[in-house]
Each structure stands twice: as C-alpha cells, then as structure tokens.
Amino acid sequence: MSAWLSRKVSSLNLQELNEFDGSQEQKQALKELGKEFEITTEKLRSIVKQFTFEMQKGLERHGAKVAMIPSFVTGKPTGMESGTYLAIDLGGTNLRVCKVDLLGNGKVEIQQQKYIVPEAMKTGEMRQLCDFIADSVDMFLTEIDTDSYSEALQLGFTFSFPVNLRTINRGNLMQWTKGYCCTGAIGKDPGLMLQDSFRRKNMKVNVAAIVNDTVGTLMAHAYRDPTTFMGIIFGTGTNAAYFEKMDNITKWEDDITSEEMVVNMEWGAFDEERRVLPMTIYDNRLDRESINPGTHIYEKMISGMYLGEIVRNMTLGLVDRQLLFDGKSSPEMNKKWSFETSHMSAIEIDTSSDLADTQYVLETVLGIPSTTLMDREMVKTLCRLVGIRAARLSAAGVAAVMTHCNLLPQDACTAAVDGSVFEFYPHFSHNMMKALKELFGEEVEQKIKFSQSHDGSGLGAAVIAMQVSKGN
C-alpha cells in the first residue's frame, strides 16, 4: 500500500493528493475533485451564517425554505410518565410498529415489529399505504395478544416527512422526500388518512399525534436525560429539531402558555436558493435525477440515501476520461443508486494492503471486470472526499443551531442523534466534531455531547401521545 494511503483516514487534505502515485492525469483529476469537495473553515463560516439567517426567516414567516415547523410539543418529559401507548414509524425502508409501556422513573418496556414497506407502496396511492399501515398494526396487535381492548389505543404516528402541523395530530404533507412519492398525499392530512384506514377496518386506534422523527428522538432522549436540547437524524435523510423560546417563533399566532416549543427545522431544505452550498456537477446530476429535483439539496449532500450515488457519478466521470478501470464500467455500476452508501463505509474502513474489501465491492458487487490497486485507491479517495464533506456540512447545521440558541456560554448540553450515517459511517462523528472545533475552538467538545439514540420513533412518539392524551 502506498504511504499515501496508510495515513489515518479521518481527514484528507489537498497536500496529501500531491503524494498520490498515479499518473499525472489521475493526480490532476483527484486534485481537481479534492478542490471541488473541499469545505474550508472560511466556507463553513459562510454556510453557518446563511443557515442562521434562514432559520430566522423560518421562525418569522410561513412558507420559508427552512420551514421551522412548530411541533406543538411543549413540555419536556419528566421520566415519571406512565401508561401504555402505540407508536409507528414510517419514513425509511421499514414500517416499525411498537407497543410502549412507560413505567415511570425513566423506565420503559418496548415490544416492536418491523414490516418491510414494498417499493410499490412507496410510489403508489397514499390510501393504500395507510391501509398497509393499519393492516400491519392489526397484525402486530394480534401477534402480541392485544387484539381485544375496550378503550381506544392512543397512537403516536412518527411520519418522517415535512408536515405543516395545524394541531398536534392534524397537518398537511408539504412534499415527499427520500424516495417516497405516493399519489393523493401532498397537501393532504396523513393523520386523518391513517385514522380513516383504522376506521374502515373497525380498529379502535386513535392517532393522537403526528411526530417527526427528530422530535421523537429529542423527546425519547429527554425522557432519560433532561439536558437534551436537540434531536438530529443523520440517516437515509437528515433533519433536526430543538427547543425554541415561544417569543422567538414570531409567526405563531395562537395563545399559548408554555415558554418553549420543539421546532422541527426541516433543515434538509437549507439553501435551496443555492447561495452558499458548493454543489458540484455530480450533485447537480443526482438532484436532477431524484424524485424531488431542486429541493432538499442540503439533505442530498449529507444523507445515506444519496452519498453513494454521488460517488457513483464521480466514478463514472473518471471512467469516461479513461482514468479508472481501464475505461470500462459495468451494467451494475451504470445503474442508478447501485453504489450504496454502505459500500462507501466498507471501502473507507478497508485498510488491508491490497484493499481486498474494496476489490470485493467493485468487482463482485458492482461487476467491474477487474481493478488495479491504483483503481481501488482512487475510488477510496472519492469516498473519503464525499464522506468528509458530508460530515463538515452536517457540522454547519449543528453550529447554526448552537449559534442561534447562544449555547456556547451556557452549560454543556446533549444532542440526541439517530440514523445510519451517524452510527455506521466511518469517522463521521469525528469529522463533524473536528469542523465544530475549527468554528468554535477546542472547548466545544465540552459543550456539546452527541448521544446515539435508537428509540426515538417508538419511545419518543409514545411519550408525546401520552402528553397529548393526558392533556399536558
């Protein structure tokens, strides 16, 4: 393995690319890509500035790009909550159905089942999708032997898409993201449509709350740790929610007694006007071919649904210039979305001298006829460029919330984080913290703790359903 690759893989600078021992053309191509994907500290600062500006706009008026949606969740849980609630989570590959027993003292028991959402359901009719959810809940209740119950079961519906809420359990879907695009849903109320499916099946289940996964993640963590101020998802998609002072949500028109409310930022839509995000031709191509072109571009530079596709676009660019794989691609590599973000993770953690795992991904999984060590090193570099950029852009979102809430002078706080990119992508959290240190200094590490949280959509949605049904 070249000295160049044996370096610790948590950071990459343009200087390193000079030491890469490929041909002049290969070197030049990698240097150009390195430049395009670089987010300097100065660039980070300008992104954070624009981010706080857009947050402010979203708090002031309806219809802003970063929508800053009031969640109607006001109270922090105390951990003493009790009772039995249902929760479902729709937003990725699976539908998760849970029965949550809140036992007080921060204790909880969860029974859950996952159901694969068939691809056709994600792009079919919304009414069918809701019927599928109701059937799955019915099946689950039978499986756990809770199919006869006298009072309506209260359900927290984690629906991880942008919903403009009018009340805690009523709102309108603003747009689809993450590969979903059911018909008959945009502008409609997902809570009401699901309630209708329960009614048609004579199920006594009440949709008590529509919950974004970020809000659920925040509340689930806060049930155990009151210093939690933010819930973040770095997974198939990305987004964040945090506690905001009611006085700052100036677009809020109703009376309310509480001082704070959780705001679902919908930060994936940041910079749709393309003022600061350094989009490359590879990002533009991905965006154009996505189900929601022109929207959620920040999400498309950060999250698991998209990172592999950016690398695929870059790889094909180098193949076309005869700089990779001897100019040959494969039918699999030519297929959209075939380069999954999990392949990038496998490549990034591959430190073997012959990059054997990388070879496996490229040749066996993606069908490239043969690869040289140089080819593998180049693809690994592409993955690193895209992975590091994602972590640094993610840090910009966190930094914007920290700046807006003036958190640095305050006590240490916790951000609850869920999602496959945060959990599994090599060096992601390290690179994110590195960027935060560049922005705020070394001491930021003592100010914000990122805590992996798994049960947001279950526990969090149940806690919220409980708060609603007890009128908190």
User: Shortest gap between Cβ of 243 and ligand BGC (angstroms)?
Assistant: 17
For ligand BGC, the closer of residues 5 and 88 by Cβ is 88
For ligand BGC, the closer of residues 197 and 214 by Cβ is 214
Stretch touching ligand BGC by CB under 6 A, among 158-166, 248-256, 353-361, 430-438: 158-166
For ligand BGC, the closer of residues 175 and 315 by Cβ is 175
Within 13 A of 143's CA, how many CA atoms are on the CB side? 14
User: 178, 221, 312, 380: which one contacts ligand BGC (CB under 6 A)?
Assistant: 178
Q: Examine residue 177 and tell whether it contacts ligand BGC (CB under 6 A).
A: yes
For ligand BGC, the closer of residues 39 and 173 by Cβ is 173
- Separation between Cα atoms, residue 338 and residue 341, nearest integer Å: 9
Pairing of strands 448-452, 107-116: unpaired
Q: Examine residue 233 and tell whether it contacts ligand BGC (CB under 6 A).
A: yes
The residue written with tokens 């029974």 in the block is: 111
Residues 21-80 interacting with ligand BGC (rule: CB under 6 A): none
- Residue 448, strand partner residues: 413
Residue 49: active-site member: no
Q: Examine residue 268 and tell whether it contacts ligand BGC (CB under 6 A).
A: yes
Tell me the backbone φ, ψ of residue 162, rounded to 5 degrees.
-70, 110
Pairing of strands 94-104, 107-116: antiparallel
For ligand BGC, the closer of residues 290 and 381 by Cβ is 290
- Among the listed residues 65, 76, 99, 178, the single catalytic one is 178
Number of helices and strands in the chain (H, E): 18, 13
Residues 442-461 interacting with ligand BGC (rule: CB under 6 A): none
User: Shortest gap between Cβ of 234 and ligand BGC (angstroms)?
Assistant: 8
Stretch touching ligand BGC by CB under 6 A, among 123-131, 206-214, 422-430, 434-442: 206-214
Among 347, 386, 389, 393, CA closest to 366: 347
**Helix, strand, or coil here: 125?**
strand
Stretch touching ligand BGC by CB under 6 A, among 109-117, 121-129, 234-242, 402-410: 234-242
Q: Examine residue 212 and tell whether it contacts ligand BGC (CB under 6 A).
A: yes
Q: Examine residue 91 and tell whether it contacts ligand BGC (CB under 6 A).
A: yes
- Residue 103, strand partner residues: 82
Residues 289-318 interacting with ligand BGC (rule: CB under 6 A): 299
Structure letter (DSSP) for residue 246: G
Burial class (CB in 10 A: 0-12, 13-18, 19+), 350: buried
Stretch touching ligand BGC by CB under 6 A, among 104-112, 149-157, 207-215, 312-320: 207-215
Q: Examine residue 237 and tell whether it contacts ligand BGC (CB under 6 A).
A: yes
- Separation between Cα atoms, residue 34 and residue 395, nearest integer Å: 19
User: Shortest gap between Cβ of 237 and ligand BGC (angstroms)?
Assistant: 2
- Residue 241, strand partner residues: 231, 264
User: Shortest gap between Cβ of 218 and ligand BGC (angstroms)?
Assistant: 11
Neighbours of 104 (CB within 10 A): 12
User: Shortest gap between Cβ of 205 and ligand BGC (angstroms)?
Assistant: 23
- Separation between Cα atoms, residue 372 and residue 10, nearest integer Å: 24
- Among the listed residues 213, 271, 350, 418, the single catalytic one is 213
**Roughly what angle, to the nearest 10 degrees, separates helices 41-60 and 373-404?**
50
Among 314, 274, 265, 263, CA closest to 298: 274
User: Shortest gap between Cβ of 284 and ligand BGC (angstroms)?
Assistant: 19
User: Shortest gap between Cβ of 200 and ligand BGC (angstroms)?
Assistant: 27
For ligand BGC, the closer of residues 25 and 289 by Cβ is 289
Pairing of strands 413-418, 448-452: parallel
Neighbours of 299 (CB within 10 A): 23
Residues 339-398 interacting with ligand BGC (rule: CB under 6 A): none
For ligand BGC, the closer of residues 81 and 299 by Cβ is 299
For ligand BGC, the closer of residues 206 and 217 by Cβ is 217
Residue 76: active-site member: no
Stretch touching ligand BGC by CB under 6 A, among 113-121, 125-133, 236-244, 330-338: 236-244
Who contacts 249 (Cβ-Cβ below 8 Å, separation ≥6)? 59, 68, 70, 261, 263
Binding residues for ligand BGC, how many (CB under 6 A)? 17
Greatest distance between any 2 Cα atoms in the chain = 75
Q: Examine residue 286 and tell whether it contacts ligand BGC (CB under 6 A).
A: no
Within 13 A of 15's CA, how many CA atoms are on the CB side? 2
For ligand BGC, the closer of residues 81 and 418 by Cβ is 418
Q: What is the DSSP track for 156-198?
A: EEEE-S-EEEEETTEEEE----TT---BS-BTS-HHHHHHHHH
- Separation between Cα atoms, residue 322 and residue 313, nearest integer Å: 14
- Residue 107, strand partner residues: 104
Stretch touching ligand BGC by CB under 6 A, among 45-53, 231-239, 367-375, 424-432: 231-239
Catalytic residues, by residue number, are 178, 213
Binding site for ligand BGC (CB under 6 A): 91, 160-162, 177-178, 212-214, 233, 235, 237-239, 266, 268, 299
